[in-house]
Structures are given as C-alpha cells and as structure tokens.
Structure 1
Amino acid sequence: MGEIRSFEILSEERFAEIYHALWRKLYSVAYNHLRDKTVAQELVQDVFVKLWLNRKNIKQVENAEAYLLTAIRNKIYDHFDSVACRKKHYKLALEDFSEELNAVEDVVVFNEGMSVINDELDKMPEKTQAVFRLSKFHRYSNDEIAEKTQLSSKAVEYHITQAIKRLRIRLAMFLSEILIFCLAVL
C-alpha cells in the first residue's frame, strides 16, 4: 500500500482503494480479538466511516495501514470496555433487583407468619392470649403481666408456655409449607 501523506486530499477513488486493500486485514484483526463476525464487521465499518467523515481534519499520516490498524485496535479496546461496563451494570442491576425481591418476599413471609400466629392465638383461651400478647408483643415482664392480669407469676409462666407450645406446632407446619413451596419453585 502506498504512503498517504494527508487524508485532506483523500478522494472517493483513493478511499475506495484503501478500503478494498485494508478491509480484510482490519476485519481479521478485529475477528481474532473478538471471535464475533458481526461485531468485527461493525467495528471495521466504524473505522472506515470515521476515516471518511474526518478526512479533512486528519493531518499528516505517514502510513495509512498503520493508522487504520491503530484505529481498529482502539475500537476493539473501546468495545471490550463497553462490554465490561454493561456486564458490571447488569450484575449490579440484578443484585439490586434480587435484594428488592428478597425484601418483598421477606415482608410477605413475615406478614403470613404473623397471620398464622394471630389465627392460632385467636383459638386459645382469652387469658392465654392476653398473657402471651403482653409478653411477646408488648414486651411486659412476667411480674408486670401478673400485676396487670391479677395472676400469679407461676400462672403467667404457664399461659406463656402453653401458647408457645401450640405456636411451635402451628409454625412448624407453616414453615414446612413454605419449604415445600420453595422446593417446588426450584
């Protein structure tokens, strides 16, 4: 390939000569790095389009082949940077999305669990319900509950123990239902 001193005088005929002489070589370089025919072709086309559009702004060029090989290598590096950036953003977006999904799932499971607890509490005697709610939902001590309900400390412990026993059984069934559902989804 002959030397080109300046692309300022690049005519359509000379551009066509350069294009036909170097297109395959530039494509080979791009394909060897990318292993993707379509992307390699697009990058080579981008190099030639940029050459044509900037022909008046490109000053002294000693060797058109070296100039265009450098241009295609820069396009390849830009492509790799772009792909890496997209992958990074995609990964971050997936992490954010899965965190949001987990948060929503956690709220749903919590609400369903509380519903199961409240349903089971509603089936218990009123004193047992009241003592358990004061202890676990309102964080009263056993002595405070005894004073408030006019029960002995032993009676308060009894009601809490009875409620916990029943809730353990019901919550175990609830958790096994969730586990079966999760395994079915997988």
Structure 2
Amino acid sequence: MDTFSFERILVEKLKGGDKSAFSSLFTAYYSDLVMFATTFLKDLDSSEEIVQDVFLKLWEDREIITVTTTLKSFLLKLIQNRCLDWLRHAKVIHSHHDSVLNSSPLLECDTENYILRSEIEKIVKKALDKIPDEIAEPFKLNRYDGLKYREIAEKMQVSNRTVEVRIGKVLQILRDELKDYLITFLMLLSHLLW
C-alpha cells in the first residue's frame, strides 16, 4: 500500500473517531511539525504549543476535515497558518512585516521545499542505514562533518583512493534511490517558475 492510500485510510478512520488512528497520526508527524513551526517562531515551546493546538483542533473537527493533498502537506499548511496567526497576535509581525506577511507565495514555496527536503533527507538516511558502515562512514565524515578525503583516510587508516571509491559507491546508491524524486523536483521547479 502506498503512502497516499495509507494516509486516506488514516484520515477516514480519524473522521470515524478512531483514537488509534489519531495516535498514529500524532506519533508520525509531531516531531516534523514542531521542527517546521520552529522555522517560523524560533521558539521550541511556542512551536510545541501550536502543534498540540493543531492536533487538538484536528481531533475536534475530525468529522468535517477535508484533505485534498497529502496528509503531511495538509498538516504543514495548518501549522504554517497557525504560526502566522501567532506572529500577528504577538505583534512580532511589525518587525517581520515584509518578510512574513507579504510573502505568502514565498511561504508556499518554502512549505513545498520543506516537504521535499524532508522526504529526501529521510530517503538518504534510509539508504545510508542499508549501506555497511565501512562504506558509508567516509561519505558521512565528508558530507556531515566536513572532513577532506585525506583527513578521512588518516582517521580510518585507509588510502585516499579507498575513500574516493567508497564515497563514489555511496553517491551512486543515493542517485539510484533519489532518481524518482527528480521528476518531483522538476515539477516543483516548474511550479516556482510559472
């Protein structure tokens, strides 16, 4: 069953008052939504409060919700709107007027970019978890820790060529894993340009 079908079933169960569906939804998306809210509010406590409020409102209005996109997109849009309301209410909007209130098309792009980036990061992490540590480690040290090939070779006590080959293998695996997202990326890019 694909993610979209699973989400539709989850939404239908939620509409029917299924508490386990709500719990699954909360568990699956809470952390990502808090992280997303924090990009607007720059405050973890307020972000958590907003996400909890959105989930509470979702439960209260469960019978009338209509999800026309992916569930994650729907939730991110709810969080975005609630964050903007919070910013307006807190009078922070005066200092962020041009960058937040007047840039709603930009915010929509940011939401789409966040979703895409989040999905790609999950795919990369899942792919790296499948690769043996001795192959994946040079890639992680290079990309995440910023080490140069020579430094990685010294740290792992292997040759520079071994580091190059291992990073090349990881990059090929990641290209294969991400090839389906090329179409999504191009569609997003064309949407931004039109």
What band does the TM-score fall into relative to the shorter chain? Answer: 0.3 to 0.5
Structure with the greater relative contact order (CA < 8 A, sep ≥ 6): 1 or 2? 1
The higher radius of gyration belongs to 1
TM-score (norm 2): 0.42
